[in-house]
Amino acid sequence: MKRTAAITVLTLLFATAFVSGRNVRPAGGTDDDTLRAFRLYTEGIKREAIDRDTLRAREAYAGAIEADTTFAAAYYALASLLLDTDTPQAVALSRRAAQLDSTEKWYLRLYGQALVTGERYDEALGVYRTLSRIDSHNPEVYSVLAALYEQAQLPFSAIAVLDSAELRLGRIPPLTAAKRRLLVATRQYDKAVTEAEALVAAAPYQIENRMILGELYGMQGRDSLAVEQFDAALRIDSTDVAALVAVAEFHNRRRNYRAFLRLTRRLFESDAISPELKAEQFERMTSDVRFYREHYFQLNELASVLAIKYPDDPRIVGLYGRHLIAAGELDRALELFKLHTADRPPVSDYFTMVIDIESYRQRPDSADKYAGEALRLFPQKPEFHIARGHIRSYAGRHDEAVRSYRAALRHIGTDSLRGVVWGCIGDTYHAAGERRKSYAAYDRALRYDPDNTMVLNNYAYFLALEERDLERALRMAERAVEHSANNPTFLDTQAWILHLMGRTADARRTMQLAISLDRSGSPELMIHYGDILAAAGERYMAEVYWRKALENGYADPEAVARRFEWLRTPRTEETEKTSGQ
């Protein structure tokens, strides 16, 4: 809450509908005016209190003021009604009421409240100073006056006001809390601790007092004392969610993660926190791979708590399954997701996870079975048609894969995804040896999305393999690199096309960048770099990279052997042309 808003809320504690019994009778005017003013004022009270007709009440109060301009109670009553709708007018009316009867505390309170509501804090400060003298037993007056001093950036004056209130009225929790906050804000930690210690001594079994003192000890860096108070608080009530959260966060800030996770487990076991919030907290904690690795066993306990408490909550099932996958327990994750594919209503994410895991395990028959089940339940979801296309393409069932991809197109609403699917169709046709259909599909993909980097790269590379349309292939490769500058595979394609075009120096620079960015040790990239180095006349370094390709598992050792044989032959124009074959 903003400081100005806090002042307004505090002043609203005053009962503005109450009308003081003092000076209700008009103070001046003729007898007729006096009688008329009093009658209208009484009518206004009736309209306001009984009929709830504030419009008629305002008219009656205004009539009373018109009949007798010294009728303070009428000014007060009308100002109270206008406070929220016409603050400037309320300020003027309440000021007039206070001027007409400066001894009436209710009038002065309303005037102060109107000034605060109108954000005229400097004027309000003077009014509340006066109130602190004539209404010295009212805790709300001290509270607002302290807030006004704080607004004026005079925190020490605010503290002095609250000290004065404590001397007159004793300890009042809201004022004590405000004073403690100001002491902390002014870095008077010792005084704040003294205040909190007095609270604990007076009420040692109130958990809030223990938590306050613990937090103040923590601010002073006296962590052992802070922990002692936190432990005492949790002994009072070990299920208090606010206390558990605060203590857990204290240990988190101190990087005492074992204690933090121990307390988090208690929170996860509590029914006072929703599963959604627990899932969000778990996902935040596990987003840091290092933290996940170092505290795996405690995080595993948290995941198990959630799985046991909420066995059918889709978000928790997904969370627990992903946790098992991260732990390398693919079989358990697969078993979990397969079990939940029988849930009704069905959850599509469960089928997605089963299909992904089965595909990763290279079990296309099982993956295809679950893709079919998913399509029976979710026939409009294009992702399952696409998944089935991937499965069948991987299995070499190219015609069926193309049919699945085309089925997906009937349910896709965006051009970018259409471009992706047409790219998959192009890849499938190319794998089937149908190059004409493959290139036609790629052309269609690029009409939907000219910046589809996978299509641009694959199309360019396949053209390069045929050594045809190299200028066009280079433009596509350059466009792919432009949109994904640090992709070593795309740079490899660009470098290879440059090599085929005889631009060896450019090819070498590009391929060198691809090798430096590659973290997988790709043997294909090393073979290409060796070929480009050989074309540049760097035979020794070419051999180095060809050997690295073999060491990294290049799929065609005989092709590498032919390259070594080439190195051993005399260099002629003809042998130079055959390098890299």
CB neighbours of 25 closer than 8 A, spacing ≥ 6?
34, 38
Residue 172 and residue 156: Cα distance in Å, rounded? 19
Q: Is residue 546 part of a domain?
A: no
Q: Is residue 89 part of a domain?
A: yes
- Mean pLDDT over 21-34 rounds to 54
Residue 386 and residue 167: Cα distance in Å, rounded? 76
Task: Give the pair of three-digit tokens for residue 71.
Answer: 């009728």
264-286, pLDDT tens digit by residue?
Answer: 999 999 999 999 999 999 999 99
pLDDT recorded at residue 184: 80
Q: For 234-375, where are the E strands, in sequence order?
A: none
pLDDT band (50, 70, 90) for residue 13: very low
Ramachandran bin of 538, using left for φ above 0, alpha for ψ from -120 to 50, beta for the remaining angles: beta
Q: Is residue 428 part of a domain?
A: no
- Mean pLDDT over 35-62 rounds to 89
550-574, pLDDT tens digit by residue?
Answer: 999 988 889 888 988 888 876 554 4
With 50 as the cut, is the pLDDT of residue 5 above it? no
**Cα three-residue angle 172-177-182, rounded to 5 degrees:** 125
CATH code for position 21: 1.25.40.10
Q: Which residue has the tokens 């487990």?
A: 265
Question: DSSP state, 10?
Answer: H
CB neighbours of 218 closer than 8 A, spacing ≥ 6?
226, 250
pTM over 0.75: no
CA dihedral over 39, 40, 46, 51, signed as positive or negative: positive
User: Most confidently modeled of 179-183, 423-427, 484-488?
Assistant: 423-427
168 vs 332, more confident = 332
pLDDT recorded at residue 180: 82
Range(s) of the domain holding residue 98 = 1-166
**Whether 351 contacts 374, CB under 8 Å:** yes
Q: Is residue 490 part of a domain?
A: no
Residue 155 and residue 146: Cα distance in Å, rounded? 8
198-247, pLDDT tens digit by residue?
Answer: 889 988 999 998 999 999 999 999 999 999 999 999 999 999 999 999 99
59-113, pLDDT tens digit by residue?
Answer: 998 998 998 899 999 999 999 999 889 999 999 999 999 999 888 889 999 999 9
**Whether 355 contacts 367, CB under 8 Å:** yes
Residue 215 and residue 224: Cα distance in Å, rounded? 11
Domains: count for the chain:
1
- Residue at 280: amino acid letter: E
**Whether 211 contacts 243, CB under 8 Å:** yes
**Whether 58 contacts 82, CB under 8 Å:** yes
Task: Give the pair of three-digit tokens for residue 191.
Answer: 């005084």
- Mean pLDDT over 497-519 rounds to 94
Q: Is residue 486 part of a domain?
A: no
Task: Give the pair of three-digit tokens for residue 572.
Answer: 């002629």
First-to-last alpha carbon distance for the chain, in angstroms, is 74
Q: Is residue 454 part of a domain?
A: no
Q: Is residue 541 part of a domain?
A: no
| Residue 71 exposure: Cα atoms within 13 Å on the Cβ side | 31
As a whole number of Å, the CA-based R_g of the chain is: 40
240-269, pLDDT tens digit by residue?
Answer: 999 999 999 999 999 999 999 999 999 999
pLDDT band (50, 70, 90) for residue 30: low
pLDDT recorded at residue 261: 96
Residue 375 and residue 353: Cα distance in Å, rounded? 14
Q: Is residue 107 part of a domain?
A: yes
